[in-house]
Every structure is written in structure tokens, then in C-alpha cells.
Structure 1
Amino acid sequence: MGPEGWQHLRGRPTLIRRSARALDRAEAARTVAWMRHEVGLDGDGPAPGPATPG
């Protein structure tokens, strides 16, 4: 649900349909794999953090 107005920013609540891409399970799996890699949850150890002055 979301507003029905301009760019879904204002207005009465209405059903907003999902795009075909939002329903693509393969795309979702790739996104989750990428996110897990980025945060270090893919088994390669923790992601490197920011450099700290020493």
C-alpha cells in the first residue's frame, strides 16, 4: 500500500503493483549474494573496515 498521488508521495492509500524485476527470484538471489559478500558473510571472513590512523 502507498499513496496514490504524484510519484506515490501524497494521496489516499492504494495498492501499488510490484514490477516484474521485483518479482524475479534470480535477481533477488544475486542481490542477496552480493550483499552477503559486501558485509563479509560469504565465508571469506569479515569485510575490511575503514583504515584507522595508527
Structure 2
Amino acid sequence: MYNDSPYFYTDTIYNFEHLLIDNHLKMIIILSWQYLVNHRLVEIYGYVIQIIFI
């Protein structure tokens, strides 16, 4: 974290690709977060996944 101060980060899936439909792709996201947390590169306090059906 920058100066040990928490900050807010937001991200959007490019073109709203349907990455959360396939369980394999969900695991890639989860494993990526686990790697970052385990190597103390980020601290995740919460997350929001919003699914918009168009």
C-alpha cells in the first residue's frame, strides 16, 4: 500500500466480456488475487462483482 494508507481501486472487465460464466476463468481471477495477497502486494478488504445482463 502507498504510505500504509488504504485507498480505493476500481476496475472494469474490458468490453464487459463474460469472464464469470466459465468456472475456469473464475479460478484464474481467484488465484491471481490469492497470489497478490500471499506475496503482500495487496490487501483485499472486500470486493463487489456486479453482473449486468443486457
Tell me the TM-score range normalised by the shorter chain: 0.3 to 0.5
TM norm structure 2: 0.37
Return the index of the structure with the highest Cα Rg.
Answer: 1
Point out which structure has higher relative CO (alpha carbons under 8 A, 6+ apart). 2
| Structure that is richer in strand per residue | 1
